[in-house]
Amino acid sequence: MRTRQPSGLVAGWLVLAGGLTGCGLLKTTAEMPGRVATAALNPGGKPAPADPLLMQTRFMRFADLFATEVEQATLAFAERTGTPEGRIQALEWRIDYANAIWRLASGSRPYAALFDAIIVITFVRHVHEQHWSERWGEADRPMVEALTRLEESVWSLTAEGLPEPYLGQVRQIVADWMAGDPTSRISEVAKLPGFTELGGTSRANPGLVSELTSLVRLDTLSGLEPMVREVAQSRQLLERIFYYLQRQPELLSARVELLVLRASHSPEAQGTLASVERVSQAAASLAATAAALPASVAAEREAALAQLSAELTAQRAGLVADLETARAPLVEILTETQGTAEAGRAMADSLTGTLTALDAFVGRFDDGDEPPAAPEVAPEADQEVAPAPASKPFDVAEYGLAAERIGVAAHELEQTIATLERSLPEVQRVLDETTARAARAIDHAWKRALQLVGFALGGLVLALVIVRRVPRA
């Protein structure tokens, strides 16, 4: 355990006490408390208790042992729980228990401090067995075991200073108090009753209780000369103050650790830590985004070019499909037109033949026009005249059939002209729509290409700005 150098005032008193060690005054002062205790508690040759100052020295060593045992037990408890709440609870136990025993060890009445320490340790062990073990379970086992050992140690220390009759009465007083109503028992170590308060309510031997009370309240410096009494009181006070101040850094360190733990696990601190964690995560995400931005821009550029190529391919495929769709009716119209033209040519040929026949027919009925007479040729005697071929007789049915053909051809020509008049606007409309759609597809592809290029340039500029603004680690 760490120790501190005494302050100036304490050192002065120690020098003064050291200077008086060789003189009879200080020797008498040191031996007087034991003589007073022996005279007060040894009437009739009964066994007398040990020197109070000797018991105080032993009790101080026991207090240090107690603090070390409690510290080890609280560390084991905190490790077993593994939670911030367990660490806070362990520090609270360590501070309360160690401070209570050190405070008693630095008291002015050794036996009163010893009896009060028995009450404190017995009560704390009982509370851990009945209350804290139910809450913390097996994690509280190191505390129960350590307090059980310390309770046995403090009873052993008491047995070194008190004869058996007095020791039995002390046990009886503590047992009567522990057997009382648990609901009326104070749960805080600092508010526990003293031994003198419990002695008045116990069923122990009144005579022995009175003697124990006298031992607790005994003034070991009574009967001394004023000068000797003042020197002894000053020496004892300085020893107790020095003892208690030497152990305060341990308690102060534990209190600071407890304060930090409580502050760090308060709702406000948890909210602040969560906010800081979110800010750090956001900064890390921003840094990762900035680091991956060039690759992202390249990927976006490749994706934009691929999308533009796919869009142009789709527009080209749509244009080809539209042209194929418009080709079928156009081919059909051209086929019908070719058929109509051939029918018109056939009709024209038929009409030419009909007109020729009609002219010949009309010429036969022409008035006053007789055919010129053939020149007479004198037959030769020896020449043989060939007979003329017989002409086809006139048939009116042929003329009717020709007229019927002319009418059919005229009707077909009229239908062909009408079909052409209906088909030509449709063909023109399909061609216009195809041309307009192709123009729109090309315009749309160029707009998308310009937009994607603009987005890529904007993203690159933004990435450069972010990379320059984000501080490098």
Domain end point (choices 230, 265, 300): 265
Domain count of the fold of the chain: 2
- 163 by Cβ neighbours in 10 Å (0-12 / 13-18 / 19+) ranks as middle
Same structural domain, 202 and 328: no
What is the residue range of 411's domain?
Answer: 284-361+397-469
46 found inside a domain: yes
Q: Are residues 208 and 114 in the same domain?
A: yes
Q: Are residues 165 and 250 in the same domain?
A: yes
Whether residue 28 sits in one domain with residue 153: yes
In a domain, 258, yes or no: yes
The verdict on 236 and 316 lying in the same domain is no
Q: What is the pTM of this model?
A: 0.51
Domain membership flag for residue 176? yes
307 Cβ contact partners less than 8 Å away, ≥ 6 residues apart: 448, 452
State the distance between the two ends of the chain, measured CA to CA, in whole angstroms: 44
Same domain, 413 and 318: yes
- Asked if residue 270 belongs to a domain, the reply is no
The answer on 213 and 89 residing in a single domain is yes
Is residue 234 domain-shared with residue 294, that is, in the same domain? no
Is there a single domain that holds both residue 230 and residue 352? no
Residue 135 resides in a domain: yes
Instruction: Confirm whether 442 is domain-assigned.
Output: yes
Same domain, yes or no: 436 and 327: yes
Per-residue pLDDT tens listing for the chain (473 residues): 444 444 444 444 444 444 444 344 444 444 555 555 554 455 445 566 778 888 888 999 999 999 999 999 999 999 999 999 999 999 999 999 999 999 999 988 888 888 889 999 999 999 999 889 999 999 999 999 999 999 999 999 989 888 888 788 888 888 888 887 554 566 677 778 777 677 655 555 565 666 666 676 666 666 667 787 788 778 888 888 989 899 999 889 999 999 888 888 767 656 666 666 777 777 787 777 778 778 877 888 788 888 878 888 888 888 788 777 877 777 777 777 777 777 767 777 777 777 777 676 556 555 544 455 444 444 444 444 455 555 555 455 665 676 677 777 777 777 777 776 777 777 777 778 877 887 887 888 778 878 888 888 888 888 888 877 776 54
What is the sign, positive or negative, of the torsion defined by CA atoms of 256, 259, 261, 263?
Answer: negative
Both 288 and 261 in a single domain? no
d(CA 394, CA 12): 175
Can you read off the two tokens belonging to residue 445?
């592809």
Give the number of other Cβ atoms within 10 Å of residue 383's Cβ.
Answer: 9
Domain contains 331? yes
Q: Is 455 domain-assigned?
A: yes
- Please check whether residues 127 and 16 belong to one and the same domain: yes
